Amino acid sequence: MSELSRRADALRALHRPGDPLLLPNAWDPGSARAVVAAGFPAVATSSGAVAEALGHADGEATPVDEMLAAVARIAAAVTVPVTADLERGYGLPPAELVERLLATGAVGCNIEDSDPRTGRLYDTGEQADLLAGIRAAADAAGVGLVLNARVDVHLRAYGPAEERLAEAVRRARRYRAAGADSVYPIVLADPAQIRAFVAEVDAPVNVMARPGAPGPAELAPLGVARISFGSTVYSAARARVDELLTTVRAGGDPFGS
C-alpha cells in the first residue's frame, strides 16, 4: 500500500458519527503546522483563506496552478492527512484534477455543487457525473481519495425555505451513490434539521462551525461525523493582526508590556 493510500484510509477512518473529526481549516504551511501542533489528526484547507492569502478572491479566482501549489506546500509541511478545498475543480477534467491533486500529497477534497462565480446550483445529475468521474479516476490511481461532496442548497437559498432540507437530502443521496465518502450541507445550522439530514442520508455528514451556529459540543450528539471551520480561523487571525496594527499606528504597545 502506498503512503497516499495509507493517509487516505486514515482520513476516512476519522469520520465517526457522534465523535466528529474537527478540521480548523489552514491556509499555509505555518497554519497547517499549528493545527497539527494543537493535536488535530488531519488538516483541511480553506479555498477562501488560501485565495486571500495568495492575493486573490474566493470563487475560483485563484489560478489553479497557484491553488494546487499552495496545497502542495501545506501537505509537505505536515505528516498527517490533508484534504483540500477545491471549490468545483477549476474546470479541470476529473482525471486531470485527481492526478494533480494526488501529486500535491493531499488525499481528500471538497467539491461543491454550485458555480463558484455565479452561485447557480448545477443539475444534480451533472454534479453526480462529476463526482463519479473523480471517484473513477481515484480508483484507477489506486488511491482511496476521500471525496467530500458539498451541498449548497442552504448556502444559495435555493427554492422555497420549507423545501430546502428535502432538496439537500435528495442531492446528498445522489452524490453518495456517485461515490462521495461524505456530504457537506454547508451553512445548515438548525439542530433539528441537521439531525434529520444525518438520519436520512447514508453517509458521514460534515457541518460547518461558525459564529452564531452550533459548535462541536452540540453537533456531536446530532450524529455529525466531520466539523470544519471554513475561513473563520483565518478571519479571526487577520482580525487580530488588524488590531495589533491599529495599536501600533496609534503609537501604542501592541504587546501590552
Q: What is the residue extent of each domain of the chain?
A: 3-249
89 vs 157: CA distance, rounded Å = 22
Q: Is the pLDDT of residue 1 over 90?
A: no
Q: Could you give the CA distance from residue 26 to residue 84 in angstroms, rounded to a whole number? A: 10
Helix (H, G, I), strand (E, B) or coil at 252: coil
Q: What is the CATH code of the structural domain delimited by 3-249?
A: 3.20.20.60
Q: pLDDT-based confidence at 15, cuts 50/70/90?
A: very high
pLDDT digits (tens, 9 = 90+) for 99-135: 999 999 999 999 999 999 999 999 999 999 999 999 9
Mention every residue, 6+ apart, whose C-beta is less than 8 A from residue 97: 86, 89, 90, 134, 137
